[in-house]
A and B are shown apart, each in its own frame.
Chain A
Amino acid sequence: MEPGEIHALLGENGAGKSTLMNVLYGLYQPDEGEILVDGKPLKLRGPSDAIAAGIGMVHQHFMLVPVFTVTENIMLGAEQVRGGIAGFLDRRRARREVAEVSERYNLRVDPDAVIEDLPVGIQQRVEIVKALTRDVDLLILDEPTAVLTPQETEELLTVMRSLKAAGKSIVFITHKLGEVKAIADRITVIRRGKTVGTASPEASRDELAALMVGRTVRLTVDKAPATPGEPVLELANLVVDDDRQVRAVDGVDLTVRAGEVLGVAGVQGNGQTELIEAIMGLRPVLAGTITLDGQRIDGWSTKKVLRAGVGYVPEDRSVDGLVKEFTVAENLVLDVYDRPPFGRGLSLRPDEIGRAARERIEQFDVRTSSAEAPVGTLSGGNQQKVIVARELSRPLKLFIAAQPTRGVDVGSIEFIHSRVVHERDAGTAVLVVSSELDEVIGLADRIAVMYRGRIIGVVGPDTPREEIGLLMAGITPDQQGGSPDVGSAAEAGPTATVDSDPAATTDADAVSGTGTPATTDRDVAATTDGVAPAAEGPGSEDEKNR
């Protein structure tokens, strides 16, 4: 690592990126080898040693106390006491320090805000400020963008650039190729605990992806043209609220036909989750209708919807999809346990469950020690395969998959995609919701773009990514006027802020991209944008909307 460098550490899930960085931060002890800082070997016994050596880390899951204020969180672990008297915290000094650091690096945070009220992106900023107040020279960011919206991601990249300008070094851990190309000065690829190569950011996505998984990977999905049949799912004027009673789905009309994949694209948090939960009977429908195969299903219980021939892969597999303490076999029958042949009357039939489980494990290539292993011991990709196997093991009319490949390794992604296409070819209507634009483009026969609870456009899969990207940012083609070249518009003048946001959105979403020329272009554009410090403006897309 050189001073003032952004070094990206790229690798698949479980490649050992986080472990390496935890060693560097002193959380784990190395079995062999040594760490050199400024040419001197360093022995780290814990995070405090690392901080003393000028190494700071922002974890994937934030280490913040939700009910404390920003200042309190930052002083935590390095509390200053007033006048040297133990027990009296010097909040004022800590507050001043926070304000000073956030001022110096242009990281706007309110020192008195309570953490739990802040959006994730700002919480992350608090973590960065926390590291900076400890006077670190090397900052480790562990998968910082995994939890961020595309806008927040772009803001983070700007922050990283300004830190770099201030002479700090950054290790940036990720498996998203787009971000790496946008920001890194140097890229190290790790596979199965070994460094397999160093690349420059000019390397193409395909090259990087191949380095990451160790073979050439098809990021596109092979499929024949769809043969759409009768409408299976019809949504008419659907209105749904989210958990905070805020309107999340605001009058959606949508049709999914048998034998086609309808992809719903959109930045996360635009109502996709609520839309699907409403279809599944997990969330009350406030207005409008849901029709499955000519039958109204709004107001039905989840069990009844599942029984009617709907398969559902929920967005968050560890929360909604699996019972981690249960065995693989039990999870494979989680929603059919009470139907023959697995259950008869009140009693379960473990032999049938076990037999079916072994079959599915074989068929869906689930890597597990046995059908009786707790599902929590499996890797993310294999857990996801368990869910997909469960849902695709019964005759379906409609298959709904939300973020089917989130946090899944590339090999499993390919497999899951091929099963989805296979299901489509069997005549099932498929609804795929994903915030990965490439996934939607690759899988879907039609793409519906969702923005602020509405479907603002339905387009074909060969629509240029830019157009879909703009739709995802809420900009429909007619509003866009006659400026198709967003990149140049962004640099044009004082109104540039308006256009740079959608560009950023598209870029951040195209994370595991196909490497089309258009995408590469925008990566460059985004980088150029960010260097100009004025290209920031939260909520600025509003004016374009009206």
Chain B
Amino acid sequence: MSDPNSAQPGSPDKEPASEEQAGRTALGNTERAEAATTPGGPGPRPTLGRLFLENLWAANTFTVTLLSLVLAMVVGAVLMIISDPEVLATYGYITARPSDAINASWTLVSEAYANLFKGSVFDPAATTVNAALSPISETLTYTAPLVFTGLSVALAFRGGLFNIGAQGQATMGIILAALAGFLLPLPPGLHLLVAVLAGALGGAIWGFIPGILKARTGAHEVINTIMLNYIAVYFLTWLIVQNGVQDPSRTDAISRPVDASAQLPRLFGDGLRAHAGIILAVLATWAVAWLLNRSTLGFELRAVGANPDAARTAGISVTRTYVLVMVFAGALAGLGGSQMVLGTTAAALTPLVVAQIGFDGILVALLGRVKPWGVALAALLFGALQAGGNRMQSYSGISLELVTVLQALIVIFIAAPALVKAIFQLRAARTARLQTSLAKGW
């Protein structure tokens, strides 16, 4: 009844379930300690347990996020086992020798996730300082652009707009940043500043277009931003092979490299990839948080996002706000894009230089519950998954795509708190609000 174990789900998958149990018991202990210190109500024994359960299983944002992560890893483990022929073969004679199947699965999954951890956070086997810092450095490198695109989507979302166009805005940001990076002969420092601002400008222009269309004609921003994504990508593809842009020494589609004077400085020396972009990302997060919560513009933005009619009646110009929101969102995405070419990920334009940062930004924004610091943390998680996924691929032979699947699963579970609640039998508290918070904007 009040025993916390009664709420444990019967997981179909043995190994990850035990892992997960361990994790939750650990978590439970701290929660229990907290619960114990809280003055209990009548009847200490059931109350204590119930209090603990309520605290833990109340479907609050943190618990749902954590459990979504766990669920995604469970599904990921199943996928790893299925996709590995050798391990799968051991299941053919599972009735005869179950230990084979269990051991093989355990080894595969635990090693994969260990590599994920070692590649993103810390490798205990590291001997040099560089090797010890390397996973963090990789994580931060992947995190920085995602913070920007995530903020872009989140900011627009708070203003009542669904910005699917972070990808296109990032692409335009990359293009202008790179052009400024190799076409303008400027002194160091100034060159970097101009290149970064050029990136912001490119994104801002690409955000302004759907913003003004929405404000003036009511054209839906989802449609327009998707269309602009295509235009941006093919503009990039065309631009790369033009004279003066394409690298003269190459025949394939690659542009000239960005001058060293326009590159973001590295944080931990030349051996490690982490660059100043992450500092900009933290600053941007702070700035967006301030803008949303402490500025008059943010007040307008939130009012328009929550109830445009009331905002208009209160004298706030809804159309102006829509345009501004999209310009800001575009500039943020453009800044994110500029890091892909001014940082250490790449130094020249290629058709795929943008990767998926714009689309991942949508996921990051949703995972971060469209709150600036939440977005930053979500970006950190996604960055870590990317960095760890690289190592997982090279050491465990698990393809990098699995990481993408994990990311998708996490977001699906987050977007459907009712599902997580049903699986873990959480209390219904506040889930309804979560659902609507993500469903709005369409």
Q: How many residues of B sit at the interface, in one of the four size bands?
A: 20 to 34
Distance, CA A325 to CA B307, complexed state (A): 9
Chain A residues within an 8 Å CB radius of B346: none
**B303 and A280 form a contact (CB under 8 A):** no
Q: Is the C-beta of B214 less than 8 angstroms from some C-beta in chain A?
A: no
Chain B residues within an 8 Å CB radius of A321: 310, 313
Of residues 349 through 385 on chain A, the ones whose CB sits less than 8 Å from some CB of chain B are 350
**A335 and B294 form a contact (CB under 8 A):** no
* B307 contact from A301, A307, A324, Cβ within 8 A: A324
**B295 and A347 form a contact (CB under 8 A):** yes
* Interface residue count on the A side (C-beta < 8 Å): 30
* Known interface pairs A330-B299, A343-B296, A350-B294; A312-B310 also in contact (CB < 8 Å): no
The B contact surface, by secondary structure, is helix
Chain A residues within an 8 Å CB radius of B313: 280, 282, 302, 312, 314, 320-321
Of residues 304 through 361 on chain B, the ones whose CB sits less than 8 Å from some CB of chain A are 306-307, 309-317
Q: Is the C-beta of B302 less than 8 angstroms from some C-beta in chain A?
A: yes
Q: Is the C-beta of B297 less than 8 angstroms from some C-beta in chain A?
A: yes
Chain A residues within an 8 Å CB radius of B314: 302, 306, 334-335
**B295 and A346 form a contact (CB under 8 A):** yes
* Known interface pairs A301-B317, A324-B307; A337-B296 also in contact (CB < 8 Å): yes
Chain B residues within an 8 Å CB radius of A302: 312-315
**B306 and A326 form a contact (CB under 8 A):** yes
* A324 contact from B298, B299, B306, Cβ within 8 A: B306
Q: Which interface residue of B302, B303, B314 has the most chain A CB atoms within 10 A? A: B314
Of residues 265 through 320 on chain B, the ones whose CB sits less than 8 Å from some CB of chain A are 294-300, 302-303, 306-307, 309-317
Chain B residues within an 8 Å CB radius of A326: 302-303, 306
**B299 and A319 form a contact (CB under 8 A):** no
State how many angstroms separate the Cβ of A43 from the closest Cβ of chain B.
Answer: 25
Chain A residues within an 8 Å CB radius of B294: 347-348, 350
* A322 contact from B295, B310, B316, Cβ within 8 A: B310
Distance, CA A32 to CA B298, complexed state (A): 49
Of residues 86 through 139 on chain A, the ones whose CB sits less than 8 Å from some CB of chain B are none
**New contact pairs (6) apart from A321-B310, A324-B307, CB-CB < 8 Å:** A303-B316, A304-B315, A334-B311, A335-B315, A347-B295, A348-B296
Distance, CA A258 to CA B323, complexed state (A): 40
* Known interface pairs A337-B299, A343-B296, A347-B296; A306-B315 also in contact (CB < 8 Å): yes
* Known interface pairs A301-B317, A334-B303; A323-B295 also in contact (CB < 8 Å): no
Residue of chain A at shortest CB distance from B295? A346
Q: Is the C-beta of A338 less than 8 angstroms from some C-beta in chain B?
A: yes
Of residues 299 through 320 on chain A, the ones whose CB sits less than 8 Å from some CB of chain B are 301-307, 312, 314, 319-320
**B295 and A334 form a contact (CB under 8 A):** no
Chain B residues within an 8 Å CB radius of A350: 294
State how many angstroms separate the Cβ of A142 from the closest Cβ of chain B.
Answer: 24
Residue of chain A at shortest CB distance from B304? A323
Residue of chain A at shortest CB distance from B299? A337
State how many angstroms separate the Cβ of B66 from the closest Cβ of chain A.
Answer: 26
Residue of chain A at shortest CB distance from B297? A346
State how many angstroms separate the Cβ of A323 from the closest Cβ of chain B.
Answer: 4
Residue of chain A at shortest CB distance from B291? A346
State how many angstroms separate the Cβ of A498 from the closest Cβ of chain B.
Answer: 39
State how many angstroms separate the Cβ of A394 from the closest Cβ of chain B.
Answer: 13
Q: Which interface residue of A307, A323, A337 has the most chain B CB atoms within 10 A? A: A323
A-B contact pairs, 25 of them (CB 8 A): A302-B313, A303-B315, A303-B316, A303-B317, A305-B315, A306-B314, A306-B315, A319-B307, A319-B310, A320-B312, A321-B310, A321-B313, A323-B303, A323-B311, A324-B307, A325-B306, A325-B307, A326-B302, A326-B306, A330-B299, A334-B303, A337-B299, A343-B299, A347-B295, A347-B296
Distance, CA A334 to CA B311, complexed state (A): 8
State how many angstroms separate the Cβ of A505 from the closest Cβ of chain B.
Answer: 29
Distance, CA A338 to CA B321, complexed state (A): 14
Residue of chain B at shortest CB distance from A390? B314
Distance, CA A325 to CA B433, complexed state (A): 11
Chain B residues within an 8 Å CB radius of A305: 315
**A334 and B310 form a contact (CB under 8 A):** yes
Residue of chain B at shortest CB distance from A312? B313
* Known interface pairs A303-B317, A323-B307, A326-B302; A338-B296 also in contact (CB < 8 Å): yes
Chain B residues within an 8 Å CB radius of A343: 296, 299
Chain B residues within an 8 Å CB radius of A314: 313
**B296 and A322 form a contact (CB under 8 A):** no
Residue of chain A at shortest CB distance from B313? A320
* A282 contact from B296, B300, B302, B312, Cβ within 8 A: B312
Chain B residues within an 8 Å CB radius of A303: 315-317
Q: Which interface residue of A304, A306, A337 has the most chain B CB atoms within 10 A? A: A337
Residue of chain B at shortest CB distance from A321? B310
Chain A residues within an 8 Å CB radius of B303: 323, 326, 334
Chain A residues within an 8 Å CB radius of B302: 323, 326
* A346 contact from B296, B315, B317, Cβ within 8 A: B296
Distance, CA A334 to CA B296, complexed state (A): 11
Residue of chain B at shortest CB distance from A320? B313
* Known interface pairs A337-B296, A347-B294; A323-B306 also in contact (CB < 8 Å): yes
Per-residue CB proximity of A262-294 to B under 8 Å, as 1/0?
000000000000000000101000000000000
Distance, CA A324 to CA B309, complexed state (A): 12
Residue of chain A at shortest CB distance from B294? A348
State how many angstroms separate the Cβ of A91 from the closest Cβ of chain B.
Answer: 32
Chain B residues within an 8 Å CB radius of A334: 303, 310-311, 314
Chain A residues within an 8 Å CB radius of B317: 301, 303
Chain B residues within an 8 Å CB radius of A338: 296, 299
State how many angstroms separate the Cβ of A354 from the closest Cβ of chain B.
Answer: 13
Distance, CA A350 to CA B295, complexed state (A): 10
State how many angstroms separate the Cβ of A500 from the closest Cβ of chain B.
Answer: 38
State how many angstroms separate the Cβ of B371 from the closest Cβ of chain A.
Answer: 14
State how many angstroms separate the Cβ of B172 from the closest Cβ of chain A.
Answer: 26
